[in-house]
Amino acid sequence: MKHTVTSEESGERIDALLSRYSLSRSAAQRLLEQGAVLCGGKSVKKNYKVCPGDEILWEVPEAEESELIPQNIPLDIVFEDEDVIVINKPKGLVVHPAPGHSDGTLVNALLYHCGSSLSGIGGEKRPGIVHRLDMDTSGLIIAAKNDMAHLSLTAQLSDRSLSRVYEAVVLGRFKEDSGTVDAPIGRCPSDRKRMAIVPDGRSAQTDWEVIARYERYTHVRCILRTGRTHQIRVHMASIHHPLLGDGVYGGPVDKGMDTQCLHARFLKFVHPRSGESIELETELPAYFTAALAKLGSPEN
């Protein structure tokens, strides 16, 4: 595969850049260590920071044989065909195996439902996974059934033609009806398990719109321009409106909520094979509507 670095990507680590196009970051790092990625005709290290106009060449490796166990976990399937599958993920379901969650994940469920048809580009632990949702975030998530679909959807994430819209309940009342948070996100220097606004972080932008105001809270719609880890949670906390139930980033845990109130409600993408624009929407889940009911009547 081949990619020419754009001005917007200048200064980004090459392993991070490759992870947005066709590889998991760990897979990209392995290829870089093996000298299998060429930049300007030469092999580079994983921490090489790309420059505008750099030509990067690499080959997508053959899919590794997965050691994951398919598990018959019920799936709320919103859309499915030979190339993609879109799931309405419940709150509490982990997307892929990680320390502390070796099974019982969405990946285990997809392997049972789809068999061997999932794309292998995501790597052994993340077959088919194009983007992620936090364990306690509910809503729409798309997975690829073959490498062609995976490459197309990953490119759409990069050029923002794959749109994701979330709804959240946050602390406090917004004075304005809409706005944008534009602040770089990276690992928190004092706690590597958390993300934070850091000067040398990756560019991140979140548009927000007020849906309804309550006495102490606001129901908002968040539109992602980028897709950084914990982006909405970090951005809302950074402007002093942490998510209801998100204790990690300073959100209040009250009104019967013990996890963050965040739902991926809308998804739009271009179908990898047909080129058709697909728009999908899901209703707010019961935990979310119950939280809204406890807030009382909106004060708009």
Q: Which of 15, 54, 83, 134 is catalytic?
A: 134
Residue 29 phi/psi, 5° resolution? -65, -40
Rounded to the nearest 5 percent, the helix, strand and coil shares of the chain are 20, 30, 50
**Nearest residue to 37 via CA among 55, 63, 24:** 55
Residue 134 designated active-site: yes
Q: How far apart are CA 82 and CA 61, in angstroms?
A: 22
Give the position of tokens 């968040």. Answer: 222
Closest C-alpha among 225, 224, 206, 212 to residue 177 = 212
Decide if 259 contacts 245 (C-beta within 8 A).
Answer: yes
Distances (CA, A) of 185 to 132, 141, 196, 204, 238: 16, 22, 6, 6, 11
- Which 3 state secondary structure label does DSSP give 111? helix
Residues belonging to the active site: 134
